Amino acid sequence: MLVRILGSAAGGGFPQWNCNCPGCQSVREGKNTVHQRTQSSLAVRGTEGSWYLINASPDVRQQLERLRDTVPTSIRSNPIAGVLLTDAEIDHTAGLMILRESAEPLAIYGTNSVRKALTDGFSILRVLKDYCGVVWSNIEPGSTVDLNSDDSSSLEIEVFSLKSKPPKYMRSDVRGDGNHHNSVVGFTFRDRISGGVVTYAPALSELSDSILERLDKSDCILVDGTFWQNDELVKLGMSTRTSEAMGHLPLSGDNGSLNHLAKLSSKRKIFTHINNSNPILVANSAERKIVEAAGVEVGDDGLTIEF
């Protein structure tokens, strides 16, 4: 299979429009230790079959240009056979609006909790109904996604549950009944032809034994690299919310994700969904060196992996 990181930054991108943190400023100053990055998204394609988009970021229009070289050149051609959603966060779903020009109804796969958020909260599914239309497929943790049989993809996509963290706009004190079961999931992609196994979890709030075992059994993992420290945004004076409150396990610290990832036997371990405040985005930073010394890579837009 082919896996391509379309966007390696967290929500806001790098630089973020309203941010003057050291990293964002360095990008604007054209420093050679940093470069622009678009918001969190991934594309995956089996040895046979079409590309699937995993999460639709606000930058999806530019991101899909990165798949153009591999799709037919007929007058209208859709580079993707469907969109799979890990959650209903704005940075993972706002791009659905950009896809409204589709000539066919959009095939979207998500959990029931995500469908509810995109109907009652950020009501993009109601809007799309009157544009391209949507064919929604419910996916449930513990099962394998039923991909469109017209595509005859060699991919098997397994859904696994992650700790529930509803988007701000769906918090139980704001909206809804408080049942946010399966509001965040991850995916394990298996290719029936190559045998390759890749796991993607851009929003990871804990590393339970079962998640660690899943990651360890994957040839390649692409996981949440949002924050270096739990109080990163607080220290920079950008927010009062910690990394953990936002549903992201920080990288550093004894129980941080880096320590755990370093012990896994996966051939490639890659951080993605990296916030602009995270010093690992700066090429010569001490934090980048620590990550690389632990055998983990800092993901980048366009990075393509074959397994």
**Which residues here bind Zn ion, judged by CB under 5 A?**
19, 21, 24, 276
3-state secondary structure of 4: strand
> What's phi and psi for 229, nearest 5 deg?
-120, 155
**59 is an interface residue for ligand MLT by CB under 6 A:** no
Residue among 89 and 219 whose Cβ is closer to ligand MLT: 89
Residues 116-155: x where in contact with ligand MLT by CB under 6 A, - otherwise, as a string: ----------------------------------------
# chain residues binding Mn ion, by CB under 5 A: 4
**203 is an interface residue for ligand MLT by CB under 6 A:** yes
CA–CA–CA angle 188, 190, 193 (5° rounding): 170
Of 283, 285, 276, whose CA–CA distance to 23 is shortest? 276
Q: Which of residues 88-107 bind Mn ion (CB under 5 A)?
A: 89, 91
- In order, the DSSP letters of 141-171 are TTSB----GGG--SEEEEEEE------GGG-
Q: Which of residues 235-264 bind ligand MLT (CB under 6 A)?
A: 246-247
Tell me how far, at minimum, the Cβ of 90 lies from ligand MLT, in Å: 5
CA–CA–CA angle 142, 148, 150 (5° rounding): 150
Q: What's the rounded Cα separation, in Å, for the pair 184 and 255? A: 21
**166 is an interface residue for ligand MLT by CB under 6 A:** no
Q: Which residues of 295-304 are buried (b: 16+ CB within 10 A; e: fewer)?
A: ebbbbbbebe
Of the candidates 9, 10, 43, 64, which one interacts with ligand MLT according to CB under 6 A? Answer: 10
3-state secondary structure of 51: strand
Of the candidates 71, 81, 90, 132, which one interacts with ligand MLT according to CB under 6 A? Answer: 90
**198 is an interface residue for ligand MLT by CB under 6 A:** no
Residue pair 58/99 in contact by the 8 Å Cβ criterion: no
Residue among 89 and 301 whose Cβ is closer to Mn ion: 89
Tell me how far, at minimum, the Cβ of 94 lies from Zn ion, in Å: 19
| Residue ranges with strand state E in 60-162 | 80-84, 106-110, 134-138, 155-161
Nearest-CB residue to ligand MLT?
11
Binding site for Mn ion (CB under 5 A): 10-11, 89, 91
Binding site for ligand MLT (CB under 6 A): 10-11, 89-91, 168, 203, 246-247
